[in-house]
Amino acid sequence: MLNAKKIEKAVTHYASHKDESVRANLRAFAPALLKAAELRARLDRPAPEWSDQEIKSAALGRASLLSARAPEIDPGQFLEAAGEIAAALRGGLGPQESGALEAVDFSAYADASALQLAARDPMAWLAEVEEKAAGLPALDSYVLPVLGLTLRVFLEAAADAASRRIDPLIRDYAHHNRPLRCPVCGSEAAVACVAETQSNGSVKRLYCTCCGADWLFERIRCAHCGTQVVSDLSYVHDEADEEHRLHLCRHCGSAFPTVFSKDSERFTPEVEEIVMSGLEAFYAGQPRR
């Protein structure tokens, strides 16, 4: 869940990160994340009333909950939120990038039917936005993040409620694989976190930064392709930083960002996604073994 206190704590913790691009991205995006957290707190609405069958089907990774029942998003409210998030982001950008973002007309991507699709199938909507907005300056770096973060504001209460209902089922389904895709919105997880729990030892969860859901996942399994072949999986990390690792999979070639969390009070998937980008960029430039 977007939580202003945790975001601030994480941003302070990483303010002196060794990688300049990580520091710059944190400076640019922190105000937008904080704005989204504030908007989300103001807009707390009840989650759709999913049936037990729908929850079960999501926990088994068969159908996303939003595809069954999605919250309604009011286009006026959405555009207002997108404007506020864009303004917060522009505050952290240089004049040229800020100007490009200011010129974007978000209403082109957020009429009633587009937002119905966004609530039901966020990935399909973002793909549609990308197609419509092709050629727009700052599309990938700022326009999509603003729209994605705005959608998150409207989905998160539902995702949060859903995650808590799905959790005990996933824990019980010992003979089923856990969902690879987000059980709430169907997106791929952005980051994994391994943390000590009071009752279940060390546990891995996957985090979806699209809707804000999180779910239990197998410790030794690729979060991208799902293989559980132990000899295909390994971790790499910086010598000086054991907290941030990439889970390498020889089967599909992915390098999945995984945080071995030392402080749950500052674990924020959106911030960790930015922090991990440094390690990912470094690893991408290395010859594969």
* Interaction site with Zn ion (CB under 5 A): 182, 184-185, 187, 208, 210-211, 213, 222, 224-225, 249, 251-252, 254
Compute the least distance from the CB of residue 143 to Zn ion, in Å.
20
Q: Which amino acid is at 169?
A: L
Paired strand residues for 246: 236, 257
Compute the least distance from the CB of residue 126 to Zn ion, in Å.
12
Compute the least distance from the CB of residue 181 to Zn ion, in Å.
8
Which one, 84 or 214, has the nearer CB to Zn ion?
Answer: 214
Compute the least distance from the CB of residue 212 to Zn ion, in Å.
7
Other beta carbons less than 10 A from residue 67's beta carbon = 15
Cβ neighbours for 256, distance < 8 A, ≥ 6 positions apart: 192, 222, 223, 224, 246, 247, 249
Compute the least distance from the CB of residue 182 to Zn ion, in Å.
3
Q: Which amino acid is at 197?
A: T
Dihedral sign for Cα atoms in the order 192, 64, 226, 219: positive
Residue corresponding to tokens 């072949």: 229
Cβ neighbours for 285, distance < 8 A, ≥ 6 positions apart: none
Which one, 136 or 147, has the nearer CB to Zn ion?
Answer: 147
DSSP type of residue 236: E
Which one, 107 or 283, has the nearer CB to Zn ion?
Answer: 283
Residue 121 contacts residue 129 (beta carbons within 8 Å): no
Which one, 194 or 211, has the nearer CB to Zn ion?
Answer: 211
Compute the least distance from the CB of residue 254 to Zn ion, in Å.
5
Which one, 51 or 234, has the nearer CB to Zn ion?
Answer: 234
Which one, 47 or 213, has the nearer CB to Zn ion?
Answer: 213
Both tokens of 115, joined, read: 């937002």
Compute the least distance from the CB of residue 51 to Zn ion, in Å.
19
DSSP element (H, E) containing 27: helix 20-42
For the chain, the residue count is 289
DSSP type of residue 143: I
Which one, 15 or 252, has the nearer CB to Zn ion?
Answer: 252
Main-chain phi, psi angles of 224, to 5 degrees? -100, -50
DSSP type of residue 191: E
